[in-house]
Amino acid sequence: MRAELAGYLGRVRAALADAGQVVIMNGVALGLSSAVRALVAAGRGTLAVEDPTSDRQLPMLEATGARIVRIPVDGDGLDVAALARSGASAVLVTPAHQYPTGVVLAPGRRAALVDWARAADAVIIEDDYDAEFRYDGDPVGCLQGVAPERTVLLGSVSKALAPGMRLGWAVAPPWVAAELREHRELSDLGGPVLDQHAFARFLADGAYDRHLRAMRRRYRSRRDALVAALREHVPDAVVRGISAGVHLYLELPSGASEKAVIDVAAASGVRVSGATEMWSEGQKHPALVLGYAALNEARLDEAARILGDAVARARE
């Protein structure tokens, strides 16, 4: 699986990898927490994290013992000038499709990020989990391909196959890869081998590429249906981010409380996440994060209608 992945990531994500640098992980989450632990142990314990970021990942990152500093994200992605002022020794970024805002790291920012990492002798942790799902054109290559000596690339099959498979990988510089393997050996005896054989076969015979092509079409059609339905049913809300991935960021109209919308929608059977917890204290913006990948177009239209009612009632 490591050899097949190295070939796949080189071909599809422009990664510079050989099998020796690939460490199999139970998803991006384990790769992330293990990589940050390795950095803390190596004395690189100040980790910059995007603001906003995944509220599920924050407690995981805090548990590593790293000192977390938050760096603002704007329409061009991570503010690299603010990162350079932060004194961080490592940064976690989602350059292909920022979570949760859905923006892409702009070309100038990508170059500046790599320049900063080289000048500061810092490590870039690249969460690439959404990168195969870009609907408006070809995805840009990963940062690891530009700076392989200081980038840890993390990916998984969670969005392409199923999050419950817990099958992911880290592609890391040799010293980090050695730490990841050691951490794995000292805490676990490895991942499920049958799943890895099956995935290696899936990669080798081109079935994964065909599956991704089919899923891109399906997810794109679902995203388009949801955006159209939101325009109709929640016309004052604003969809942010590019046409990509499996989630959508919806800024709520003024006067609609995030919590009230979530509670009213939930009572009608539509479960959505609030974005406020993903922003640091000073930065909170009321918005919703909508996952659309598992619902067909008709159900998405119905969900948007319920959401529209919830927004109207929350503003009453």
Ligand X SMILES: Cc1ncc(COP(=O)(O)O)c(C=O)c1O
For ligand X, the closer of residues 100 and 286 by Cβ is: 100
Using CA atoms, how far apart are residues 3 and 21, in angstroms rounded to an integer?
A: 10
Cis peptide before 52 (omega within 30 of 0): yes
Among 159, 107, 141, which residue's Cα sits nearest to residue 12?
A: 141
Where do contacts with ligand X occur on this chain (CB under 6 A)? Answer: 27-29, 54, 94, 99, 127, 129, 156, 158, 163, 168
State in angstroms the smallest separation of the CB of 240 from ligand X.
16
For ligand X, the closer of residues 102 and 145 by Cβ is: 102
State in angstroms the smallest separation of the CB of 31 from ligand X.
8
Among 59, 46, 43, which residue's Cα sits nearest to residue 85?
A: 46
State in angstroms the smallest separation of the CB of 112 from ligand X.
22
Burial 136-160 (b: 16+ CB within 10 A, else e): eeebbbbbbbbbbebbbbbbbbbbb
For ligand X, the closer of residues 58 and 140 by Cβ is: 58
State in angstroms the smallest separation of the CB of 274 from ligand X.
14
For ligand X, the closer of residues 183 and 233 by Cβ is: 183
- Amino acid symbol at 197: H
For ligand X, the closer of residues 144 and 158 by Cβ is: 158
The answer to whether 167 and 190 are in contact (CB under 8 A) is no
186 φ, ψ (degrees, to nearest 5)? -85, -10
State in angstroms the smallest separation of the CB of 269 from ligand X.
22
